[in-house]
Amino acid sequence: MKKILTKGRIAILVIVAVIVIDQIIKVTVKLNMYWHGNIRITDWFYIFFTENNGMAFGMEIFGKLFLTLFRIVAVSVISWVLYKIVKKGYKTGFIVCVSLILAGALGNIIDSVFYGVIFSESTSAQIATFMPEAGGYSSWFHGKVVDMFYFPIIETNWPEWMPFVGGEHFIFFSPIFNFADAAISCGIIALLIFYNKYLSDSYHHATHQVENKENEK
């Protein structure tokens, strides 16, 4: 019981820490930078303020409301899974990975649900304000996700002799993302690298339980 409580506290600590750090960064950028403004840290690292209506790394596939509701459903499922694996005493590293994924998803949900109401619009000529008298730039559940980390590690042009892309500009790793996206990615990558067998065993165990229940009917 003591181990379960400890692992539960670790999960909560990871979730709270990621959300707090993510929101501090986003609010700081939102209230101090023009849209598409950038701060050069090094040649391969910029703080580049942009916003998106879509999923992680600026991808846009479905409508905004659908994506927000989808995130909420996904977070509910991940929360349930996290509760179960903590209760069953899974490895701490595994719990941390799932907690990172959950925290990252929650961080972006906050933007989607609240930012449209509590901030004015960011433009290339206007810095956003908090709780503007005229109201926010959108309605509940229609806020834009704030992104800012840009790592153009390699920026060059393709050789002229290359077919199809010759002479075109090329940037290696062009997505702009936020701390929440990074938490989700780190959690997923760590799960695949360090807990692949663990995931496979859990899947087979769950499948076996379903088959047993079907046979009992």
Among 22, 43, 111, 181, the one annotated catalytic: 181
| Residue matched to tokens 């229609």 | 142
Would you call 201 a catalytic residue per the annotation? no
The rounded distance, in Å, linking the Cα atoms of 72 and 45 is 31
Q: Which amino acid is at 174?
A: S
- 43 as an active site residue: the answer is no
Place of tokens 């938490």: 183
- Candidates 22, 111, 147, 201; catalytic one: 147
Annotated catalytic residues are 147, 181
